[in-house]
Structure 1
Amino acid sequence: MDFIIKVRPNIVTGFDIGRSYEGRLIRGLKLSFKPGKKAIFIESNIHAREWITSAACTYLIMELLFSINPDVRELAESLDWWIVPVLNVDGFVYSHEKDRLWRKSRKPATSDCVGVDLNLKRCSDPSSNMYSGPSPESEPEIEQLTNFISNYIPKNSIKIYVALHSPLQAVHLPWSHTRVPPKDYENLLYVANAFAEALHTRYGTKYHCGSSATLLSRLFSGGSKDWAYGEKNIPIAYTIELPGKDRRNLFRKNRPTYRRLDWTFYPTLCEIYSWLDFIIKKCPRVVTGFDIGRSYEGRLIRGLKLSFKPGKKAIFIESNIHAREWITSAACTYLIMELLFSINPDVREMAESLDWWIIPILNVDGFVYSHEKERLWRKTRRPATDADCVGVDLNRNFNFKWELLKCTDPCSKVYSGPYPHSEPEVDQLTTFINNNIPEGSIKIYVALHSPAQAVLTPWTHTRVLPKSYGHLIYVANAFADALYRRYHTRYNCGNSANMMKMFSGGSKDWAFSVKRVPIAYTIELPGKGRGTPPFELPENEILRTSAEMLDGFIGMVKAVKELGYI
């Protein structure tokens, strides 16, 4: 889906309807070739084990976008297409990883029973495969789907609703709860037969058509098709049941799995995001997942909020704004792990004294590119408009003194972009902080970088020290001193402009000046030269570097408390 969003940005828009019980995003695509069209809505894999539905759904998306068949082109361009390939994301993952024939969601119903049939209201037994849940729309997946359709798609624009299922090889019309046909049954059956006859032409496959209550051996209520038809007044609403052949051996192929983070290797974006999902599931009372928006290439920029006690001041940490600085996201995830699970009293005191807002990877496009194509890539991946060069240095794109020392060469590794906040990653980060975190609550802002092994205070654009430099250097030294004790690693502390090259438009200076965060740093983690670029810190030093950084944060937070900021 990220690829599709990237290659067809003028046609395809990514959206999400919300998060599942286990915190996974429920994502979809909107395909719109021409403005002002009526819409079709397709949802798929509401039952976890019906894998053919999401596979066929993604094939449909590909054909709608790339087919040159005139009939397909006419079909594609005659409607706006809203498509959710996997609605039951938790159950879908579980069916891939644990139980191939799992059907329901994954929210515990009782101490012994898990899951709700998202497409049913008939069964009150939590142990049943068809348990309907305690109340209508009790499940977040259904509540968010109905809210999304009601609030984000123009009223009465949806003329076709399709729920993809398997394995009955049929087109089901309303109703499911009664055998009395709806008033416009003839129109519904006419369109259903048109679907079945067109499908039969290719391979001779026969689909049955009729009301669900007639075709199935049982009546039920609470299904999505009947809701769309009865509640939203969508004139054409079907459950389309794809075939099933009972070839169980087809599902026994070895499938790639993501490595569980253990800080002995540098994880990919997918591995980090999978780990974030695990953490959200593991600690739902403390951890909340969030995203600030999407990158230029359409990837979600995700983060976690850790809140142990209400009413605390906040720390905000952003990491991997420069793609090649892999140690930053590795150390950032280690910090999250320790904040949640460490029994060290100093860590517990630190963890519970603040709300933690953490984005492990801000430059997601560049990060993926550095893993897949060019290890030392630094910038984003948005092409410059007036040159054959790609990318902007996001840490030169913030709207504070941007114009003072901006780099205007699009081919430079430190290109500042055409104007402040020109890049979606920066624009969405600042918007998120402005709109979603209480004003004045952030007392510490940390931008994790490498490889200079230093704690850098404002400013970056001038060697003139800020008025509160005494407090800033005191806390910076507290970080460096606490870090030093474990392995005697020395971090230098001082004003960025004195210790590095001067530049403008950095995140730390924006946080310190524009948002008035009193303690704001760039913390540069180590890098080892030793015949290799300094950004390629060996994997066997990830744990050491991360553990030291944790010690540093303990010292930092203690010092900030001493100064009365928290």
Structure 2
Amino acid sequence: MIPYPSPEQRELELVELVARASATIPGTELIEYGRSVEQRPLHVVRVPSPASTASSVAPRVLVCANTHGPEFIGNRVCVGMLAKLIDDPPPPLRQLHERAELWLAPCLNPDGYARTHARDGAGTLAQLRHNHRGVDLNRNWPLPTGARRLPLPGAGSPTPGDATYRGPSPLSEPETAALDQLLTTQKFHASANLHSFMGTMFPPRVRTRAAAMAYARLCAALRQAQPHTRYLRIASRVFDTFTGEQEDHQHHAHGCWSICVECFSVRASLAQSFGRRVPLFWRFNPRDPQPWVDNDVPGVAAFLLATLDLPPAHP
């Protein structure tokens, strides 16, 4: 899977980047906020902002990735934000750091990552996507109060073994429970959740026109900051449904501007995998991640930066 790191290499890389960042941004730290089913650490990096003072803390923003086992490109974009912040941040990332405290959680599902790497990316979606207990972590979040889950494809299955099995109950998994506790304690103003491979943006399902219009503007900021491949926004107040996804929970339960970004693109995925006998992994991840890191880091930063001009999100 070169150039994608093994689980051990991924963790070592993160430790080394945090050490480098600490030399120029004092207070940068690697925090273990929980453990996976198989007791792998769940890590988040906190990068303090110069906007924080002794009497006032800058708003906090969060970038998450790799909640699904094979979606390694999201991990690369998330880690790339820290690497670029150290060396040569694009303008949206530099401006974001000047105004907000940046938190980065590059791998929400380390067990799924390890399983995907051990299988060299081969297997079905259900075999690679889940945590160790066979749960799709991005269907394990609570629905907003009064919402119901429609029986639509991908909306979260009640059947163990299905690719989108939602688990026995909301937040039943240690990975989602730990992250929800982090969301509760840190009160993030905004969050970007990185997936692959559709080259799209999915804002949460919202109930008001004002919220929908706000997300349209935020997604436009992300798209305009992408230098090469610009992603499409997919959203509908009429046809969208609640599925137990992270961005819906963050918006409705935590008042956090939130978005799902599907890194990479369908066209690029098909170009490298269509008609070829390749592992599932290469449907989700580019052979060379760096161009997509370069494309998506400024876009994600621009989305988060634009939220700082808004009050906290409301359902």
TM-score range, shorter chain: 0.7 to 0.9
* Alignment deviations for residues 115-143 of structure 1 (CA, whole Å, 9 cap, x no partner): xxxxxxxxxxxxxxxxxxxxxxxxxxxxx
Verify: 1:550 aligned to 2:291, yes or no. Answer: no
Q: Does 1:329 align with 2:75?
A: yes
**Equivalent in the alignment of 1:312:** 58
Q: Distance in 1 between matches of 2:111 and 2:169?
A: 20
Provide the residue aligned with 1:509 in structure 2: 248
The DSSP-based 3-state class of the residue aligned with 2:216 is helix
Opposite residue 85 of structure 2, the aligned amino acid is: L
**Alignment counterpart, residue 182 of structure 2, candidates 409, 432, 437:** 432
Identity %: 22
| Partner SS, residue 415 of structure 1 | coil
1:283 is aligned to 2:28: no
Question: Which residue, 171, 188, 199 being the options, matches 1:453?
Answer: 199
Alignment root-mean-square deviation, CA? 2.5
The partner residue of 1:361 within 107, 126, 133 is 107
Q: Does the 8 A contact of 1:324 with 1:535 survive in 2?
A: no
**Higher relative contact order (Cα pairs below 8 Å, separated by 6+ residues):** 2
Q: Following the alignment from structure 1 to structure 2, what is the Cα–Cα distance between the partners of residues 346 and 303?
A: 21
1:381 paired to 2:144: no
Matched to 2:137, the amino acid is L
Query: Residues of 1 paired with 2:103 and 2:214: CA distance?
Result: 23
Matches of 2:191 and 2:301, distance apart in 1 = 15
Report the equivalent of 1:397.
140
Structure with max Cα Rg: 1
Structure 1 segments unaligned to the other structure (5+ residues): 1-263, 383-390
Name the CA distance, whole Å, in 2 between partners of 1:498 and 1:336: 38
Secondary structure class of the residue paired with 2:76: helix
Tell me which amino acid in the other structure corresponds to 2:18.
I
Deviation at 1:482, TM superposition (A): 1.4
Question: Is contact 1:478-1:559 (8 Å) kept?
Answer: yes
**Residues 350/539 of structure 1: CA separation in 2 closer, same or farther (3 Å cut):** same
Q: Which has the higher strand share?
A: 1
**Alignment partners' CA distance in 2, 1:392 and 1:509:** 18
* Structure 1 counterpart of 2:215, from 472, 479, 488: 472
Q: 1:397 to 1:282 in 2, by over 3 A?
A: same
Q: Say whether the 8 Å CA contact 1:266–1:539 is kept in structure 2.
A: no
Cα distance, 1:465 vs. partner?
A: 5.5
TM-score by length of 1: 0.47
1-side partners of 2:236 and 2:6: how far apart? 30
Equivalent position SS for 1:505: coil
The correspondence for 1:537, drawn from 285, 289, 304, is: 285
Paired amino acid for 2:130:
K
In structure 2, relative to structure 1, the CA distance for the partners of 1:557 and 1:429 (3 Å cut) is: closer
The equivalent residue for 1:412 is: 162
Give TM-score scaled by structure 2 length.
Answer: 0.82
Q: Unpaired segments of 5 or more residues in structure 2? A: 151-155
Over 3 Å counting, the alpha-carbon distance change for 1:565 and 1:547 in structure 2 is farther
Does the residue aligned with 1:430 lie in a helix, a strand or coil?
helix
